[in-house]
Amino acid sequence: MRRKENFSSARSSVTKGDPSLLRLMYLKRIFLLLVLPFLLFPRPVFAGDLAIGVEDGWIWQVAVLPPPEGWESERGKSALGAVRYAEWKVKDSADGVAGRDIRFLKEEPLSRGDAEERVARWRENGIAAVLSLGGTEDVSVLRPLLGRSGPVFLSAYGEGSDIGEGGVPLPMMFALDLYRDFRIAAFAEYAKRTLGPASGVAILGDRFDPSLERFARNLGDMLSSSGYSVSHFWLPGAGPDSFRMIEAEAISEGASVLVSWAGSMVVRDIWRAVRRKEGAFRIWYGGEPGRILLSFNGIIAADQNVPLVRDRTFVTLGREIWRRTRTVVKDESAAGRAYAACDWIFEGFRRAGSKDPGPLARAMESVSGIALGSSTLSVNPATHRPFAREAAILEVDNRAFRPVDFFQVTGPEYLP
């Protein structure tokens, strides 16, 4: 204690005896107060800096479209937080991405009325890619405008979106989800896991819908090649008029399962008709699991989003996003999708060494090593989607979808 008192006393006597030292100490304090904020908090990139960086070529830009719920929704805030975190990691790294910084530009929701003007502005401003955090609407609006000439478009979703023409993906269109026909492979795999040899499977399709007809035929071929006894039934226009006869015939043929590619309303009516019948089959629904099915215990569905919702890796990602951006991540799977989409774009830039649409699109279609939670994805050049994703088999039980199985599903080598 005595040493501290002596030191304070000595310092006091020195400063009192030398006004120049006192002035120097005050100047040092003022200097620290002015400089410290710049040391602790990185200076934001202002519009002038961005314009100069873009013009000089050391900043490449990506436009980001919001989810349907908007930027202020939990999904929007979580996804944007992941995008900002990915952007920060590039800026903080020594080499950036192909030697450049990447800036993600937060866009307003897209509409059909302003889509052409928006695309023209993106091209004029040198936008390298467009990242959609939304659903099918962005794809359907932008596919005819930029599918062949760019900028490159990537959907962080895309299960229900057709990104091709005539069975071939458009050069500039990409999606993180498998197309909705992944359920063909999912049901074929689940049949192997749960049905006995030579079990009967009835498949209900719709000849008036080319996609649903193809789904039914492809699943029938896969099950037949595995030794199952397959019966095809066709429901004109997916209407309910003739399905009572179909139910009776499927039961008489000893079907263990009826896989329906018809709509959820038809599935509901079939479930009501057969649930108390002796020897009735189980129902596997080939569409996206929806709330309308929650009243019908025992119905089976397949989904590729549930594994992401249950992936605890995204909890760690959410913490990192909060630490770096102060964004609270409440929709962890949305953040995980957005972060994986950024990773895909970054790797495309690295491989292409260019922001030009042609080289970037060719690089994007051969990217591998994309981290989506605990999974690692590789892109299939034939589909512009991942080669495979984890799928969940869900069973309706007490008004909830309960996961009963998980496995990897490989997407087809073609597009609808």
Q: Are residues 246 and 104 in the same domain?
A: no
Chain centroid to CA 403:
20
pLDDT in tens, 82-101: 999 999 999 999 999 999 99
**Phi, psi for 19 (deg, rounded to 5):** -60, -30
Q: In terms of residue numbers, what domain contains 105?
A: 49-179+312-388
Q: Are residues 154 and 56 in the same domain?
A: yes
Q: How many C-beta neighbours within 10 Å does residue 7 have? A: 10
Q: Which of 270, 287, 304 is the last residue of a domain?
A: 287
Q: Are residues 169 and 189 in the same domain?
A: no
Q: Which of 253, 271, 287 is the last residue of a domain?
A: 287
Q: Are residues 53 and 174 in the same domain?
A: yes
Q: CA–CA separation, 306 vs 80, rounded Å?
A: 21
**Phi, psi for 170 (deg, rounded to 5):** -65, 145
Q: Are residues 57 and 149 in the same domain?
A: yes
Does residue 399 lie within any of the structural domains?
no
Could you check whether the bond before residue 151 is cis, i.e. omega within 30 degrees of 0? yes
DSSP string, 50-113: HHHHHHHTSEEEEEEEPPTT-TTSHHHHHHHHHHHHHHHHHHHSSSTBTTBEEEEEEPPPP-TT
Q: Are residues 142 and 187 in the same domain?
A: no
Helix (H, G, I), strand (E, B) or coil at 46: coil
Q: Are residues 168 and 53 in the same domain?
A: yes
**pLDDT for the residue 377:** 97
Between 36-45, 211-220, 299-308, 325-334, the lowest mean confidence (pLDDT) is in: 36-45
Query: What's the mean per-residue pLDDT of the chain?
Result: 87
Does residue 21 lie within any of the structural domains?
no
CATH number at residue 273: 3.40.50.2300
* DSSP E strand boundaries for 94-243: 101-106, 127-132, 152-155, 164-165, 168-169, 173-175, 200-205, 229-234
Residue 75 has pLDDT above 90, yes or no: yes
Residue 381 has pLDDT above 90, yes or no: yes
Q: Are residues 247 and 214 in the same domain?
A: yes
**pLDDT for the residue 42:** 45
Residue 313 has pLDDT above 60, yes or no: yes
Does residue 218 lie within any of the structural domains?
yes
Percent of the chain with pLDDT over 90: 71
Q: Are residues 166 and 188 in the same domain?
A: no
Does residue 39 lie within any of the structural domains?
no
Residue 301 has pLDDT above 90, yes or no: yes
Place 54 in a pLDDT band, splitting at 50, 70 and 90.
low
Partners of 389 in the β-ladder: 409
Between 168-177, 241-250, 358-367, the lowest mean confidence (pLDDT) is in: 241-250
Q: Are residues 160 and 199 in the same domain?
A: no
Residue 48 has pLDDT above 60, yes or no: no
**pLDDT for the residue 28:** 53
Q: Are residues 235 and 129 in the same domain?
A: no
Q: Are residues 205 and 346 in the same domain?
A: no
Q: Can you tell me the mean pLDDT for 288-292?
A: 92
| Tokens matching residue 15 | 């400063």
Does residue 402 lie within any of the structural domains?
no
Helix (H, G, I), strand (E, B) or coil at 365: coil
Does residue 37 lie within any of the structural domains?
no
Looking at the structure of the chain, the number of domains it has is: 2
Helix (H, G, I), strand (E, B) or coil at 149: coil
Give the containing element (helix H, strand E) for 114: none
pTM: 0.85
Does residue 54 lie within any of the structural domains?
yes
